[in-house]
Structure formats: C-alpha cells, structure tokens
Structure 1
Amino acid sequence: MLQAGPAESVLGTRRGKAVLALLLAIGFLDFVDASVVNVALPSIRRDLGFSVQGLQWVLSAYLVTYGGFMLLGGRLADLVGRRRLVVAGTVVFFVSSISGGAAQNPGTLVGSRLAQGVGAAMMLPAALSILTTTFSNPVDRAKALGAWGALGGLASAVGVLLGGVLSDLLNWRWVFFVNPPVCLIVLFAIFKLLQVDPPRQRGRLDVVGAVLVTTAMLLLVYTIVEAPDKGWGSGRTVGGLVGAGALLVAFAVYEARHSQPLFPFSIFRIKGLGEADLTMVVAMAGFYSMFFFLTLYLQNVLGFSPLKAGLVYVPATFGVAFTAGLGSKLVSRTGTRPLIVLGAFLGAAGIFWLSFIPVHGTWLGNVLAPLELMALGLGFVFFAVTTAAQAGVPEDQAGLAAAMINTSMWLGGALGIAIFSAIASSRTQHRLAAGASPASALTSGLQVALLAAAIFLAVAGLIAFRSRNATAADMLPPEAEPDGTVLETVDV
C-alpha cells in the first residue's frame, strides 16, 4: 500500500511551537513530582509525625498509582480522546496538589500522592501521544522527541533542585502548592491550543480488561516497592509477584478472546517496540536509583542542606539537555541504536565512577565529574529509547505505545530502588555489625548499590545491541486497519 510523503512541518509554525511548549509543560509536571519531595522528606516527617517506614510512601504512593494506571490511561486516551483525558488528569493533579500541600496528617498526604499518580497516569501518555500524532513530519518528530527526551532527563535533577530550594527558602508544603498555578495555566493553554477530540469511538469499553490490567500493575508495583522492607524471599513478596503474574496471564487470555480488547496485542508486531520497552526498564533502574542514593550520600554523609544538595544537580541538567538535543540531530544519520548503546555505557561509566565515593568526599573532587558523565548518557538514552518506542506506531495506538514506554520507565525506577536498597541495606548492616561508624557503613552500602546500578546500565547497553535501529524513515506512522493490523508501507 502506498503512503504519501512526509507531512508539512508543524513545528515551524508559531502555533506548533506553542503546542510543543504546552506538551513539555505537562510532561514536566508529571516527571518532576516523582522526585521533587526527595529532599523535603525530613521536614515532612518532623511536621506530620511520619514513622521511618511510613515516610517512604510519600515517594512510593506516587509511583504505585502512576505505574499502575499508566496502561489504562494510555488506552483511554486512544478510545475517549487525548485532549479529554489530559484535561481530566490535569484537574485531578490540581486538586490532589492542593490537598497534599494542606495535609495535616500522614494519611491525607499519602492519599494525595496516590491521587497525583492517577492524574499523572492520565496526563502523560495522552500528552506524548498528542506529540507524536501532531508532529508527524520526521524532522519535526525528531526535534519534538529530542525536547521530550531532554525534559525527561532534566526532570529528575530539576525535581531534586526545586524540592531543595522550596524546602529551604519556604517550607515543604510549597513542593505541592507550586503545582496548582501551573495546572491552571496548562488548562487554559489546552483549550486554546489543542484541537477538539473527534467523537468517541463506538463500542463499549473493555471494563473487565481494564480492571485486570490495572489491578495487576498496582499489585506488581506495590510489591516491588514493599520488597526491601518485607524481604524478597518473604511470603508476602512472593505471593504479590505470583498474584500479579496470574492477573497478567488472565488479562492476556481474556484480551485474546475479546472482540474489542483494551490492549490489542497486535501492537507487538511493531518491530523494536518490545526491545525499546525492555531497555527502558533496565536503564531507568540504574538512572533513577542513582539520584536516590546520591542524594542520601550528599545529605546523610556529607551533611549538605536540602538546598545545597539540590544545587549539586544543576550542572547535570545541562549535560542531559545537551545530549538529548544532539541526539535529535544525529538520529537521522545514525538511527537510534548507536545513541542508546553510547548513552547506556556513558551512564554506566559515570555511575561506576560514583561508586567510589568516600566518607570524607567533596562535591568537586568526587561527585561533579562522574555525575556529569552520567548525565550525558541519560540524555542520549532517554531520547533515543523514547524515539524507538514511538517509531512506526499507528495513530490509533499512539496512546497505548506512549503508556507502555512510560510504564517501563517508572516500573524500572521502582524496581531499581527496591533491589538496590536491599543491597545497600544489607551491606550497611554488615559493616555496622563489624564495628564501622554509621557514616562509613552507610557509604559502603551506597557504594555497592551504585555499582549494581552501573551494571544494570551496562546490561541495558547490551540489550540495545539487539534492538531495532529506528531511522528517520521509521518516524512516519503506518496506516492501520480497523482491527489494529498494521499495514506495510513504502515511500514514493
């Protein structure tokens, strides 16, 4: 079947640039809120009386619902309308941010974080699918995804910085109160800039499939988050993993027999999609956990204030932005595979270097250079993997593909922290039992955890060697039959 040549440039217009800025603002809200509370945790614990064990849920609650509802959110974007879903998600995010900032007890704050995760799971896949369907010209899409890749990498560092600034100069509540004004601006821009969704697709929603996949993902992420405390070999952890697996199998069997499935498995016929998602899981396990462990080192070993710990990440933001932007220019010549491989090994080298952090270290002597090397790798990986995961996806499945790559990202982050925290804790306890000082024991645990994170990045690079090398020609979405079957296309 013949396909027309590349579409005209949308990004070259004033409206196109404004649409991209809006989508980046939506993504920034969601990405940043995963890490912005990190350095505010001690203040939150003191003010609201959290237990040590309960405090982790200020972080984890967001990840559980974010990852648990992401696939459902992405598919709903395809079925009921992307603008509708991003509006609904922004409203949920607005309300939950206000309730989080005003929380007077641990339960209200954790509940607000759970709701924030649901809102983000509605907003993010809808925004990314709007990006890939709006900027269909290959050059436009490469530039837009380059900006999205820079944003995703920047957000982890900016979130820690922003949390430190707000916590030190104001108080921890402003970590939440900063969101509502941005949400109002976003909502105004959505109605001003984004096209009205077409009429909803006829046919009933696959409710059973939605319940099965969402329950499975919630149970999976919850089990992973709880595993460091409960133990990986505990009956609760094993039971949770087995239960999540059984629900996913039941979901797959049910979907295969459904005439209008929530999750059309024909999407896996798109070459390279599965490899891109797997690469993201493994890579983000290393990258995301690095920020967590390095922040612990800066505050608990070197004694940095929240603001000072946040400022440490400023140079890294420039490194991420540089390589994500460079990748958007190189991808038309090299394809995505070399960029992923290079980025993964740069990231592995930087985190491996960080694994030598000493007890009496300094930012300039032990953190700056390896952190910058890691940031260069993060920019390449985030851009190139996201691009590979969106290449060749038909428009009617763009939301699902966006949800899959974002689910992979946050599942990888949760998995990395869970696994490496257990490694760090075991090493720290062993060193304390041997008579080491608390600072020395904690540093030793962090060193081992960072080494494991570096190994994961190297494995991601090896996986990428086997991945599809998506090029500019693959940026054009193929046509699809009503049943979701992708048709082969040739350029004319």
Structure 2
Amino acid sequence: MALAAMMCAVAMTFIDQTIVSIAAPDIVSELGLSASGMQWVINAYLLSLAAFFALGGRLADLWGPRRVVMAGTLVFVVSSVLCGCVPDDGYALPWLVVFRATQGLGAALLFPAALAVVVAVFPVERRGRALALFFGLTGALTALGPLLGGWLTAWTWRAVFWVNVPVAVVALVLTVLARISDRRREEPLDVTGALLIVTGMGLSVLGFQQASAWGWDSAWTWLCVAGGLAVLAVFCRYELRQRHPLVDLAVFRSRAFTVDTLVLFFAMLAFVPVFFFASVYAQVSLSASPNQAALYLLYFFAGFALASQWGGRILDKRGPRPALRLGCVVGAVGFALWAGKLTDLSLHDQWPYAALAGAGIGFILAPASTDAVNRAGAGGAP
C-alpha cells in the first residue's frame, strides 16, 4: 500500500509534464501566448523543481518523509487547481508561470520524500524490484497522461490541471491508510546551504533554458550560467565545513555513486525534453490531433515501462552495471534512429525508434537510482 501511495503521488507529477505538453498548442491559442511565453510556462516548473529538489530531500530527513510527501502533494494539487483557473486576460502569462513554479516546488518536496519512503519500506535485497515497479508503473501511468490529455483538451485544456485533484486525493488516502512510519532526524536545517543551492541551481538552469532565446553569445546567458556555477562552487566549499550539511558531499568519494549520478544526469538530458518536443512536433509538424500526439508519446513510454521492469530484475540478479551498459547502448541507438526519421514526417514509421529510445531510459533509470540510493545509505561504499 505504501508503494502504491508513492506511485500515485509521483505519477501525478510525471503525468503533469506530459499532459501539459499535449495541451500546449491550445493554451497558446486561447490565451494568446507567444512561443517564448509558453516555453516559460513549461520551464517554470522544471526550474523550480531543479532549484528546490535538494531542499526537499533534506526536509524529508528532518521532518519525516511521510509528512513531506503529504505537504508536497497538497502544494502541488492546490497549484494545479490555480493553474486551471488562469484568467483569460493580460495576467495569464504571469499567473501561469507563478503557479507552475509552485507546482515545481510541490514536486521537489514530493519526489525525494516518496523515494525515501520506498527505500525505507523495502530491504536492500528487494529494493531493486520495488524501485523498478516504482519507476516502471509510474512511467506506465505517465503514458496515460497524453491519452487523457488529448481527451480532456477536446473539452477544455484547463481540465489537464484539474485532473490532478482525484489523483492527489487517492495518493493522500493511501498514504494515511498505509500508516508509514516517519523517521526524523533531530538536526538543524542548513539555511545558508539551502539558499546557496537554490540560487546556484536556479541561475544555472535558467541560463541553459534561456540560451535558445537569448543566444549563446548573450552576456545574460553566460552571466546566469557562470554565476550559478560559481554559487554552486561556494555551496560545495561551505557544505564540506558543516557538521550537518544540506547535502552530504562525502558520498561522491564513491566512484560508483558518482558514475550513477552522471549517468542519470545525461539520461535526464535526453528524457525530460521528450515531453514538450514530441507533443508539439506531432501536432505542428505531423498535423496530428491531440489524441494522435498522445499515441506518439505512448510509444516512448511503452518501451520505458517494459524495460524498467527488466532492468530491475537484472539489477537484483547481476548488479547495476549490465543494466546501465545495455540502457546506454539501447538509448543511444534508439534516439539516433528516431532523430533520423523525424524529417520523414510519418507518425507510424517512427514508433519502433521511439519505443527503443524509451527502453534505453527504462534500463537506466531504476538500476542507477537504486544503486545510488544503496551506496548513499551505506555512506558511499565503493
């Protein structure tokens, strides 16, 4: 029941990314947003998520993961309702950007705390399969987002935000019924460290996000990127001197943990943009309906869901390395072949390559995450 509760809560945040992407053309048309304005609506969520993610994980340690899951769920669902209530006037863009950012804050609280609950509930020898179910079924539920989004958008795009309400209610009820124990740490919150990492992550991610609009030769782009990285460097030096740091950087002494983190970083660079690009590409370049665009994304997530289960079994039997190697190869081949087919402008000719690309991410995500969590829990064992 605890696993089901966490999957519902996290699936809500994943569904929101795909479902909003499906509705993007309708949002732009009804509210009169520019392409850059809609990009800000998408990016505000990801920017806030990146900036507050480390803080969310630390609050789960200090307050207990169950409490933080419930708090994050409430922040997320209230923000979703307000996004759906955006006024159809000149305030539409700032309204959406602000409440998409608070959605990102809710997700940043929710996701690491939910992962902590799953880790606490399952022993190490069963953790690989549990996290494979966590990521795989969450991915499968995410795949329903585009189909649901296509159907809801035909009624009103505002419903793509309101649909989070029943999912949140189910997640909260299951969390209460599961009676998850909260293990709290009686330690102070590193407020200075939190401010540094929020500022550093926010600036650097903003610079990369806006590079396409500002240009790589823009002083603003490099001011944000370089300034953010400089703040993160200060954060690292500060954390190493703290008795109770926000992030225990000692885990990076483990080469395996560092490799897991880097693999996840590069996998996410391929994974996250798929949500927005594929839905807009299908509707604009392929002249697909919202439901057809949903099917286009569904191919990717079908491969992801199946491969994540296989990857979890490989992890439990043979360790993370075979699954990561397989995932990197399958993902690279899948994305390369998919990219080569994009200019053919044929929806049906692309589905095997989209599924192959999704399978590559599926092989990577659960094994790398599980191995990283295990090593962090063991104090960064090599």
The TM tier, using the shorter chain, reads over 0.9
Contact 2:7 2:138 in 1 (8 A): no
> 1:306–1:197: structure 2 CA closer, same or farther, 3 Å change rule?
same
Distance of 1:258 and 1:376 partners within structure 2: 41
Q: CA deviation at 1:271?
A: 4.6
* 1:117 aligns to 2:92 (yes or no): no
Trace 1:288-327 onto structure 2 (pairs within 5 A): 288-327=272-311
Residue from 197, 211, 223 that aligns with 1:239: 223
Deviation at residue 154 of structure 1 after TM alignment: 3.8
Could you tell me how far 1:359 is from its partner in structure 2?
Answer: 4.9
Structure 1 residues 27-36 or 92-101, which shifts more? 27-36
**Equivalent position to 1:252, from 212, 221, 236:** 236
d(CA) in 2 for partners of 1:189 and 1:161? 25
User: Is the counterpart of residue 65 in structure 1 residue 48 in structure 2?
Assistant: yes
CA distance in 2, matches of 1:88, 1:358: 41
The runs of 5 or more residues in structure 2 that have no matched partner are none
After superposition, residues 149-228 of structure 1 pair within 5 angstroms as: 149-151=135-137, 153-154=139-140, 157-168=143-154, 170-198=155-183, 200-228=184-212
% identical aligned pairs? 35
2:270 to 254, 264, 286: 286
Mapped partners of 2:310, 2:186: distance in 1: 43
- 2:246 maps to what in 1? 262
TM-superposed CA distance for 1:393, in Å, is 2.6
* 488 and 389 in structure 1: CA distance in 2 versus 1, 3 angstrom threshold: closer
Which amino acid letter does the alignment assign opposite residue 81 of structure 1? G
Q: 1:488 to 1:392 in 2, by over 3 A?
A: closer
Q: Scaled by the length of structure 1, what TM-score is found?
A: 0.73
Residue type of the alignment partner of 1:380: F
**Closer/same/farther in 2, CA of residues 487 and 92 from structure 1, 3 Å limit:** closer
Q: 8 Å contact 1:149–1:386 — kept in the other structure?
A: no
Provide, for residues 337-392 of structure 1, a one-character-per-residue CA deviation record: whole Å limited to 9, x for no partner.
1111111211221221122226553222x212211222222221122221221123
CA 1:358/1:32 → structure 2, altered by over 3 Å: closer, same or farther? closer
Q: 1:297 to 1:193 in 2, by over 3 A?
A: same
Q: In 1, Cα distance between the equivalents of 2:269 and 2:308? A: 19
Give, in angstroms, the shift of residue 279 of structure 1: 0.8
SS at match of 2:240: helix
- 8 Å Cα contact 1:70-1:122 kept in structure 2: yes
Contact 2:62–2:187 (8 Å) recurs in 1: no
Change (3 A) 1:188 1:296: closer
Per-residue deviation at 1:108? 1.4
Q: Aligned pair count? A: 378
Partner of 1:141: 127
Matching residue of 2:17: 34
**What amino acid maps onto 1:321 in structure 2?**
A
Contact 1:302 1:359 in 2 (8 A): no
- TM-score scaled by length of structure 2: 0.92
CA pair 360-143 structure 1, distance change in 2 beyond 3 A: closer
| Higher Cα Rg, which structure | 1
Residue 350 (1) aligns with residue 343 (2): no
More helix by share: 2
| Secondary structure, counterpart of 2:375 in structure 1 | coil
Residues 303 and 390 from structure 1, CA distance in 2 versus in 1: closer, same or farther, beyond 3 angstroms?
Answer: same
Counterpart pick for 1:54 among 34, 37, 51: 37
Cα 1:155–1:220 shift into 2, 3 Å:
farther
Give the conservation status (yes or no) of the 8 Å contact 2:8–2:138.
no
Q: Distance in 1 between matches of 2:110 and 2:299?
A: 29
CA contact (8 A) 2:152 2:160 kept: yes
Match of 1:409 in 2: none
Say yes or no: does 1:332 pair with 2:319: no
Matches within 5 A, 1:86-101: 86-101=69-84
Letter matched to residue 343 of structure 1: G
Cα deviation, 1:257-305, whole Å, max 9, x if unaligned, reads 2222222222223451111111111122123334443333322122001
Structure-2 separation of matches of 1:358 and 1:247: 39
Q: 3-state SS of the aligned residue for 1:272?
A: helix
**Farther off after superposition, 24-33 or 318-327:** 318-327
Change (3 A) 1:52 1:330: closer
